[in-house]
Amino acid sequence: MKKRLFSGCTPSGNLTLGNYLGTVRGWERNQETCDALFAVTDLHALTVPRDPEILRRKSLDFLCLFMACGIDPQKSTLFIQSHNPRHCEVSWILSCQTGWGELSRMTQFKSKSAADRRPSGGLLTYPVLMAADILLYGTELVPVGEDQRQHMELTRRLAKHLNSCAGPVFPLPEAVIPPSTGRVANLLDPTAKMDKSHDNKDTYIALTDTPEEIRRKIGKARTDSRGDFAMDDKDSGIGNLVRIYSALTGLGTGTIIWEYEHRGYGAFKRDLGDIIAETLTPIREKYNRIHREEDYLKQVLALGKDKALEKSERAYKCIKDTFGLITC
Ligand code: TYM
């Protein structure tokens, strides 16, 4: 039997090369080998105030981008998280099983709540909703970037807790994090991760950027003040760019450094801009095509919702039953 796999992205900002290399790129292969679910996690977007019209638009944009990256709604379960109301229900049940102290110590909560004048309760319970997304489908594999590692640890603890109450029903979900692109860095500040909601669009490459924008952003990207291609500092700008180059071409970092050591940063950045543009152009074009097909999108949404409901039936009933809620 195929393993159950779940992943998703929150429809805020613009889907970036970081999201792509950190997780989305692998989904097309995942859907062949696994019973895969991919969600536009719109409920997660509500943790900070948003313009409802923009959230609606972004949710559809992300759905179309997932398909442009190779997700086939027939092979996978492609859906919008809020279309399956069980995510919220299970999230509430699991939040009652989670310590307030543990949630308030989460790294993402600490940094996001410090940056927010009136942090919402949702910001605190966000990782529980993520655990609900995963456990609701009896998930075994979860492709994510490095920044979700701590949330995955909480999810595993909750799975163990459920098993201690209900018997060994839930698999322990495993985070699948790519070793070299689990944390693609901000182009202008390599000590930070590339963030799709950053105010300055020059800090990231969006999947919908044109080749001109891509080349310009790579041209401006931070390299290293030493002027060489040393990879020893994990936070160096040039290290980040070489890892992106390597991930997109399949060439080892040593081969890339050998090639450009004498040709310099200028030649390296020109070639890298071209390589990224070549990768993203077909995605942007497919995205633009799918986005125009309104009737087809409605069918995709309806199919995804039905499949998500069906695949969540078993774990949903088991979780309710475990805590004494009557199912019918
Ligand atoms: P989100 O929308 O912030 O990011 C989507 C995915 O992209 C990864 N990622 C990165 N990978 C490499 N380099 C980066 N700079 C980078 N930035 C982001 C993230 O780790 C993530 O895998 N809470 C999640 C969405 C979610 C989810 C889930 C994921 C909700 N429920 C259940 C997996 C399973 C989020 O907001 O990711």
Question: Residue 218 and residue 265: Cα distance in Å, rounded?
Answer: 11
Q: Is 112 one of the catalytic residues?
A: yes
Q: How confident is the model at residue 232, as a pLDDT? A: 79
- List the residue whose alpha carbon is closest to atom 19 of ligand 1: 145
Question: Residue 137 and residue 4: Cα distance in Å, rounded?
Answer: 8
Q: How confident is the model at residue 224, as a pLDDT? A: 83
Q: Is 234 one of the catalytic residues?
A: no
Q: Does the C-beta of 236 come closer than 6 Å to ligand 1?
A: no
> Which residue from 206, 268, 280 is spatially nearest to 237, judged by alpha carbons?
268
Q: Does the C-beta of 15 come closer than 6 Å to ligand 1?
A: no
Give per-10-residue mean pLDDT for the chain (328 aa).
Answer: 97 98 98 98 96 98 98 98 98 97 93 90 96 98 97 97 93 97 97 97 98 98 87 88 98 96 95 98 98 97 98 97 92
Q: How confident is the model at residue 327, as a pLDDT? A: 86
The pTM assigned to this predicted structure is 0.97
Q: How confident is the model at residue 165, as a pLDDT? A: 94
Find where tokens 């999810």 sit: 155
Question: Residue 40 and residue 43: Cα distance in Å, rounded?
Answer: 9
Q: How confident is the model at residue 227, as a pLDDT? A: 80
Q: How confident is the model at residue 226, as a pLDDT? A: 82
Q: Does the C-beta of 182 come closer than 6 Å to ligand 1?
A: yes
Question: Which member of 75, 112, 305, 317 is catalytic?
Answer: 112
Q: How confident is the model at residue 235, as a pLDDT? A: 86
Q: How confident is the model at residue 23, as a pLDDT? A: 98
Q: Is 193 one of the catalytic residues?
A: yes
